[in-house]
Amino acid sequence: MKAKRSTARRIGDTAESPARRYFKEVRFRQIRSLVELSCQGSFAATAAALDLSVPSVWQQVRSLEHEYGVQLVVAEGSKVSLTEDGRTLVDLAAPLVESFDGLRAMFEDRRNTAARTLTVVAPAATIAGALRRPIISYRQHHPKVKLALLDRPSYLARKVIENDEADLAIMGMAAGDEPMPQFQCLPLTRHAFHLICPANHALAKTRQLTLASIVGEPLVLAPEESSSHRQIRQVFAKAGLAERMNVTMTATNRALLLSYVAIGFGIAIGTSAASVKPPKRAAGEAEIVFRDVASLFGHEEVFLVQRKGRFEPAHVRAFRELVMASMRSDAA
Protein backbone atom coordinates (compact mmCIF):
# COMPACT_ATOMS: atom_id res chain seq x y z
CA MET A 1 0.00 0.00 0.00
CA LYS A 2 1.49 3.32 -1.11
CA ALA A 3 2.01 5.80 1.71
CA LYS A 4 0.18 9.08 1.47
CA ARG A 5 2.35 12.06 0.61
CA SER A 6 2.45 14.64 3.34
CA THR A 7 0.80 17.92 2.44
CA ALA A 8 2.80 19.87 5.03
CA ARG A 9 5.24 22.32 3.42
CA ARG A 10 8.81 21.60 4.38
CA ILE A 11 11.73 24.03 4.52
CA GLY A 12 13.04 24.38 0.99
CA ASP A 13 9.67 23.83 -0.69
CA THR A 14 9.02 26.40 -3.42
CA ALA A 15 5.25 26.65 -2.98
CA GLU A 16 4.15 29.98 -1.51
CA SER A 17 0.97 31.11 0.17
CA PRO A 18 -1.00 34.00 -1.38
CA ALA A 19 0.15 36.26 1.46
CA ARG A 20 3.83 35.46 0.85
CA ARG A 21 3.40 36.05 -2.88
CA TYR A 22 1.74 39.41 -2.14
CA PHE A 23 4.56 40.66 0.04
CA LYS A 24 7.10 39.42 -2.43
CA GLU A 25 5.43 41.35 -5.25
CA VAL A 26 4.49 44.48 -3.33
CA ARG A 27 7.50 45.36 -1.26
CA PHE A 28 7.57 48.07 1.35
CA ARG A 29 10.04 50.12 -0.68
CA GLN A 30 7.52 50.35 -3.52
CA ILE A 31 4.98 51.89 -1.16
CA ARG A 32 7.67 54.21 0.20
CA SER A 33 8.57 55.31 -3.33
CA LEU A 34 4.96 56.25 -4.10
CA VAL A 35 4.61 58.19 -0.85
CA GLU A 36 7.87 60.03 -1.48
CA LEU A 37 6.84 60.71 -5.08
CA SER A 38 3.67 62.39 -3.82
CA CYS A 39 5.88 64.79 -1.84
CA GLN A 40 8.64 65.39 -4.40
CA GLY A 41 6.56 65.64 -7.58
CA SER A 42 9.12 64.05 -9.91
CA PHE A 43 10.94 60.75 -10.38
CA ALA A 44 14.32 62.49 -10.32
CA ALA A 45 13.70 64.26 -6.99
CA THR A 46 12.24 61.08 -5.48
CA ALA A 47 15.24 59.04 -6.61
CA ALA A 48 17.60 61.58 -5.04
CA ALA A 49 15.64 61.61 -1.77
CA LEU A 50 15.66 57.79 -1.54
CA ASP A 51 19.20 57.37 -2.90
CA LEU A 52 17.94 55.26 -5.79
CA SER A 53 18.17 55.48 -9.56
CA VAL A 54 15.34 57.04 -11.52
CA PRO A 55 14.57 53.74 -13.36
CA SER A 56 14.32 51.97 -9.99
CA VAL A 57 11.72 54.42 -8.68
CA TRP A 58 9.83 54.29 -11.98
CA GLN A 59 9.77 50.46 -11.89
CA GLN A 60 8.60 50.35 -8.29
CA VAL A 61 5.65 52.64 -9.00
CA ARG A 62 4.76 50.71 -12.16
CA SER A 63 4.85 47.48 -10.15
CA LEU A 64 2.33 48.94 -7.73
CA GLU A 65 0.08 49.95 -10.62
CA HIS A 66 0.28 46.42 -12.01
CA GLU A 67 -0.48 44.85 -8.62
CA TYR A 68 -3.45 47.13 -7.85
CA GLY A 69 -4.71 47.23 -11.41
CA VAL A 70 -5.08 51.03 -11.51
CA GLN A 71 -3.12 54.03 -12.73
CA LEU A 72 -1.51 55.79 -9.78
CA VAL A 73 0.50 58.60 -11.40
CA VAL A 74 0.42 60.84 -14.45
CA ALA A 75 3.68 62.18 -15.90
CA GLU A 76 3.68 65.55 -17.64
CA GLY A 77 7.21 66.24 -18.76
CA SER A 78 9.46 66.03 -15.71
CA LYS A 79 6.56 66.59 -13.29
CA VAL A 80 4.47 63.78 -11.88
CA SER A 81 1.05 64.07 -10.26
CA LEU A 82 -1.12 61.48 -8.55
CA THR A 83 -4.40 60.22 -9.90
CA GLU A 84 -7.38 60.01 -7.57
CA ASP A 85 -6.51 56.35 -6.92
CA GLY A 86 -2.91 57.36 -6.29
CA ARG A 87 -3.95 59.95 -3.70
CA THR A 88 -6.21 57.40 -2.01
CA LEU A 89 -3.39 54.87 -1.75
CA VAL A 90 -0.95 57.49 -0.45
CA ASP A 91 -3.46 58.64 2.20
CA LEU A 92 -3.69 55.04 3.40
CA ALA A 93 0.00 54.22 3.10
CA ALA A 94 1.68 57.38 4.40
CA PRO A 95 0.87 56.72 8.09
CA LEU A 96 2.26 53.17 7.71
CA VAL A 97 5.49 54.47 6.21
CA GLU A 98 5.83 57.13 8.87
CA SER A 99 5.16 54.59 11.63
CA PHE A 100 7.78 52.22 10.26
CA ASP A 101 10.32 55.03 9.88
CA GLY A 102 9.63 56.02 13.48
CA LEU A 103 10.14 52.51 14.85
CA ARG A 104 13.65 53.24 16.14
CA ALA A 105 12.50 56.44 17.80
CA MET A 106 9.66 54.53 19.47
CA PHE A 107 12.09 51.85 20.66
CA GLU A 108 14.60 54.36 22.06
CA ASP A 109 11.87 56.41 23.68
CA ARG A 110 10.45 53.28 25.34
CA ARG A 111 13.95 52.46 26.63
CA ASN A 112 14.27 56.08 27.78
CA THR A 113 17.52 56.53 25.86
CA ALA A 114 16.36 59.04 23.24
CA ALA A 115 17.50 62.64 23.55
CA ARG A 116 14.56 64.89 24.42
CA THR A 117 14.54 67.54 21.70
CA LEU A 118 11.71 69.60 20.25
CA THR A 119 11.91 71.97 17.29
CA VAL A 120 8.99 74.28 16.56
CA VAL A 121 8.70 76.60 13.56
CA ALA A 122 6.30 79.55 13.51
CA PRO A 123 6.05 83.15 12.28
CA ALA A 124 7.65 85.85 14.40
CA ALA A 125 4.27 87.32 15.39
CA THR A 126 3.16 83.96 16.80
CA ILE A 127 6.41 83.38 18.67
CA ALA A 128 6.29 86.90 20.11
CA GLY A 129 2.60 86.66 21.00
CA ALA A 130 0.54 83.50 21.33
CA LEU A 131 3.45 81.13 22.05
CA ARG A 132 5.03 83.06 24.91
CA ARG A 133 2.72 81.76 27.65
CA PRO A 134 2.78 78.07 26.55
CA ILE A 135 6.57 78.17 26.23
CA ILE A 136 7.02 79.61 29.73
CA SER A 137 4.81 76.87 31.15
CA TYR A 138 6.44 74.13 29.07
CA ARG A 139 9.97 75.02 30.14
CA GLN A 140 8.91 74.96 33.78
CA HIS A 141 7.48 71.46 33.50
CA HIS A 142 9.96 70.01 30.97
CA PRO A 143 13.31 71.62 31.86
CA LYS A 144 15.38 68.78 30.34
CA VAL A 145 13.88 69.08 26.85
CA LYS A 146 16.10 70.94 24.40
CA LEU A 147 13.55 73.32 22.86
CA ALA A 148 14.43 75.18 19.66
CA LEU A 149 12.27 77.83 17.97
CA LEU A 150 12.56 78.75 14.30
CA ASP A 151 11.19 82.11 13.14
CA ARG A 152 9.76 81.70 9.63
CA PRO A 153 6.81 83.23 7.73
CA SER A 154 4.05 80.69 7.15
CA TYR A 155 5.06 79.63 3.63
CA LEU A 156 8.66 79.03 4.73
CA ALA A 157 7.44 77.31 7.90
CA ARG A 158 5.62 74.91 5.61
CA LYS A 159 8.88 74.16 3.78
CA VAL A 160 10.66 73.51 7.09
CA ILE A 161 8.09 70.97 8.29
CA GLU A 162 7.90 69.33 4.85
CA ASN A 163 11.71 68.94 4.87
CA ASP A 164 11.47 67.26 8.27
CA GLU A 165 13.47 70.02 9.96
CA ALA A 166 10.92 70.60 12.75
CA ASP A 167 8.60 68.48 14.88
CA LEU A 168 5.72 70.96 14.82
CA ALA A 169 4.73 73.99 12.77
CA ILE A 170 2.30 76.71 13.73
CA MET A 171 1.34 78.55 10.58
CA GLY A 172 -1.38 80.43 8.81
CA MET A 173 -2.89 79.20 5.58
CA ALA A 174 -4.25 81.45 2.88
CA ALA A 175 -7.28 80.58 0.79
CA GLY A 176 -6.14 78.49 -2.16
CA ASP A 177 -3.00 77.07 -0.50
CA GLU A 178 -2.17 73.56 -1.67
CA PRO A 179 -3.31 70.79 0.70
CA MET A 180 -0.79 68.90 2.83
CA PRO A 181 -1.93 65.26 2.58
CA GLN A 182 0.99 63.84 4.60
CA PHE A 183 0.23 66.12 7.54
CA GLN A 184 -2.55 66.63 10.04
CA CYS A 185 -3.51 70.28 10.29
CA LEU A 186 -5.27 71.02 13.57
CA PRO A 187 -7.16 74.35 13.64
CA LEU A 188 -5.98 76.66 16.43
CA THR A 189 -7.43 80.11 15.90
CA ARG A 190 -8.29 82.75 13.32
CA HIS A 191 -7.20 86.36 13.06
CA ALA A 192 -9.24 89.17 11.55
CA PHE A 193 -7.57 91.50 9.07
CA HIS A 194 -7.15 95.16 10.03
CA LEU A 195 -6.36 98.33 8.16
CA ILE A 196 -3.67 100.25 10.05
CA CYS A 197 -3.15 103.90 9.22
CA PRO A 198 -2.42 107.32 10.76
CA ALA A 199 -5.39 108.92 12.48
CA ASN A 200 -5.24 111.88 10.10
CA HIS A 201 -5.38 109.66 6.99
CA ALA A 202 -8.49 109.84 4.82
CA LEU A 203 -9.10 106.08 5.20
CA ALA A 204 -9.24 106.48 8.98
CA LYS A 205 -12.35 108.60 8.61
CA THR A 206 -14.04 107.07 5.55
CA ARG A 207 -17.36 105.56 6.56
CA GLN A 208 -17.22 102.64 4.14
CA LEU A 209 -13.89 101.12 3.12
CA THR A 210 -13.61 99.41 -0.27
CA LEU A 211 -10.89 97.45 -2.01
CA ALA A 212 -10.68 100.15 -4.68
CA SER A 213 -10.07 102.88 -2.08
CA ILE A 214 -7.31 100.85 -0.41
CA VAL A 215 -5.39 99.34 -3.33
CA GLY A 216 -3.97 102.59 -4.66
CA GLU A 217 -2.37 103.57 -1.35
CA PRO A 218 1.29 102.77 -0.54
CA LEU A 219 1.03 99.44 1.25
CA VAL A 220 3.17 98.16 4.12
CA LEU A 221 2.67 94.40 4.39
CA ALA A 222 4.09 91.25 5.93
CA PRO A 223 6.57 89.33 3.70
CA GLU A 224 5.34 87.64 0.52
CA GLU A 225 5.98 84.26 2.20
CA SER A 226 3.41 85.04 4.90
CA SER A 227 -0.14 83.74 4.69
CA SER A 228 -1.53 87.23 5.30
CA HIS A 229 0.34 88.74 2.34
CA ARG A 230 -0.73 85.89 0.05
CA GLN A 231 -4.37 86.23 1.11
CA ILE A 232 -4.37 90.00 0.61
CA ARG A 233 -2.89 89.60 -2.86
CA GLN A 234 -5.44 86.90 -3.73
CA VAL A 235 -8.33 89.15 -2.64
CA PHE A 236 -7.09 92.02 -4.81
CA ALA A 237 -6.47 89.62 -7.72
CA LYS A 238 -9.99 88.21 -7.48
CA ALA A 239 -11.32 91.76 -7.69
CA GLY A 240 -9.12 92.48 -10.72
CA LEU A 241 -7.00 94.95 -8.75
CA ALA A 242 -3.72 93.07 -8.32
CA GLU A 243 -1.83 95.18 -10.87
CA ARG A 244 -2.74 98.34 -8.95
CA MET A 245 -1.12 97.17 -5.71
CA ASN A 246 1.67 99.50 -4.59
CA VAL A 247 3.71 97.61 -1.97
CA THR A 248 6.33 100.02 -0.63
CA MET A 249 7.59 97.88 2.25
CA THR A 250 7.47 94.37 3.67
CA ALA A 251 8.42 93.66 7.26
CA THR A 252 8.50 90.56 9.44
CA ASN A 253 8.70 92.72 12.55
CA ARG A 254 5.32 94.12 13.60
CA ALA A 255 6.84 97.01 15.56
CA LEU A 256 8.85 98.02 12.48
CA LEU A 257 5.71 97.92 10.35
CA LEU A 258 3.83 100.16 12.80
CA SER A 259 6.69 102.62 13.11
CA TYR A 260 6.70 103.24 9.36
CA VAL A 261 2.94 103.64 9.29
CA ALA A 262 3.37 106.27 12.01
CA ILE A 263 5.70 108.37 9.85
CA GLY A 264 3.29 108.25 6.93
CA PHE A 265 5.33 105.87 4.76
CA GLY A 266 2.19 103.93 3.90
CA ILE A 267 -0.83 102.16 5.30
CA ALA A 268 -0.71 98.57 6.51
CA ILE A 269 -3.04 95.63 6.19
CA GLY A 270 -2.31 93.00 8.79
CA THR A 271 -3.86 90.53 11.18
CA SER A 272 -4.40 90.58 14.90
CA ALA A 273 -1.81 87.82 15.29
CA ALA A 274 0.37 89.83 17.65
CA SER A 275 -0.75 92.35 20.24
CA VAL A 276 2.04 94.83 19.60
CA LYS A 277 1.33 98.30 20.91
CA PRO A 278 1.92 101.21 18.54
CA PRO A 279 5.34 102.77 19.12
CA LYS A 280 5.62 105.82 21.31
CA ARG A 281 4.86 108.83 19.20
CA ALA A 282 7.81 111.03 18.33
CA ALA A 283 7.73 114.57 16.99
CA GLY A 284 5.97 114.71 13.64
CA GLU A 285 4.38 111.27 13.98
CA ALA A 286 0.65 110.68 13.89
CA GLU A 287 -1.49 108.52 16.13
CA ILE A 288 -2.19 105.08 14.63
CA VAL A 289 -5.71 103.67 14.28
CA PHE A 290 -6.89 100.14 13.53
CA ARG A 291 -9.99 99.39 11.46
CA ASP A 292 -11.48 95.92 11.07
CA VAL A 293 -11.54 94.94 7.37
CA ALA A 294 -12.48 91.27 7.79
CA SER A 295 -15.49 91.96 5.57
CA LEU A 296 -13.04 92.67 2.72
CA PHE A 297 -10.10 90.35 3.42
CA GLY A 298 -11.59 87.68 5.66
CA HIS A 299 -9.56 85.95 8.36
CA GLU A 300 -6.18 84.27 8.58
CA GLU A 301 -6.72 80.64 9.64
CA VAL A 302 -3.95 79.30 11.89
CA PHE A 303 -3.11 75.60 12.25
CA LEU A 304 -0.80 73.34 14.20
CA VAL A 305 0.85 71.02 11.68
CA GLN A 306 2.63 67.70 12.18
CA ARG A 307 3.18 64.56 10.13
CA LYS A 308 0.46 61.94 10.09
CA GLY A 309 1.18 58.53 11.52
CA ARG A 310 4.55 59.42 13.03
CA PHE A 311 5.32 58.32 16.57
CA GLU A 312 4.79 61.26 18.89
CA PRO A 313 6.98 61.18 22.02
CA ALA A 314 5.35 62.24 25.28
CA HIS A 315 7.32 65.50 25.48
CA VAL A 316 6.16 66.51 21.97
CA ARG A 317 2.56 65.60 22.73
CA ALA A 318 2.72 67.66 25.94
CA PHE A 319 3.80 70.77 24.03
CA ARG A 320 1.18 70.24 21.30
CA GLU A 321 -1.62 69.89 23.83
CA LEU A 322 -0.41 72.92 25.79
CA VAL A 323 -0.34 75.13 22.70
CA MET A 324 -3.75 73.93 21.50
CA ALA A 325 -5.36 74.58 24.88
CA SER A 326 -3.77 78.01 25.21
CA MET A 327 -4.47 79.31 21.71
CA ARG A 328 -8.00 77.95 21.56
CA SER A 329 -8.84 79.51 24.92
CA ASP A 330 -7.46 82.85 23.72
CA ALA A 331 -9.66 82.61 20.62
CA ALA A 332 -12.80 81.77 22.61
Whether residue 273 contacts residue 153, with contact meaning beta carbons closer than 8 Å, is answered with no
Domain closes at, from 80, 101, 122:
101
Note whether 131 and 68 are same-domain residues: no
Note whether 284 and 195 are same-domain residues: yes
Most confident of 171-180, 186-195, 273-282: 186-195
CATH number at residue 228: 3.40.190.10
Residue numbers of the domain that contains 125: 114-189+301-331
- Is 283's pLDDT higher than 80? no
Note whether 130 and 92 are same-domain residues: no
Asked whether the whole model's pTM tops 0.85, one would answer no
Note whether 173 and 203 are same-domain residues: no
- Choice among 1-15, 185-199, 253-267 with the minimum mean pLDDT: 1-15
- Cα 75 to chain centroid distance, Å, stands at 25
pLDDT band for position 105 (50/70/90)? low
CA nearest to 150, candidates 174, 169, 137:
169
Domains contained in the chain, number: 3
Asked, for residue 13, whether it belongs to a domain, the answer is no
- Is 18's pLDDT higher than 60? no
> Is beta strand 267-271 parallel, antiparallel or unpaired with respect to 183-198?
antiparallel
Please report the pLDDT score of residue 110 as a whole number. Answer: 67
Domain closes at, from 68, 101, 134:
101
Please report the pLDDT score of residue 187 as a whole number. Answer: 94
Note whether 51 and 118 are same-domain residues: no
Note whether 233 and 292 are same-domain residues: yes
pLDDT digits (tens, 9 = 90+) for 114-129: 568 999 999 988 998 8
Determine the Cα–Cα distance for residues 45 and 58; give it in Å rounded to an integer: 12
Q: How much is the average pLDDT of 72-88? A: 89
Q: How much is the average pLDDT of 255-267? A: 90
Note whether 180 and 207 are same-domain residues: no
- Cα 113 to chain centroid distance, Å, stands at 30
- Identify the three-state secondary structure at position 199: coil
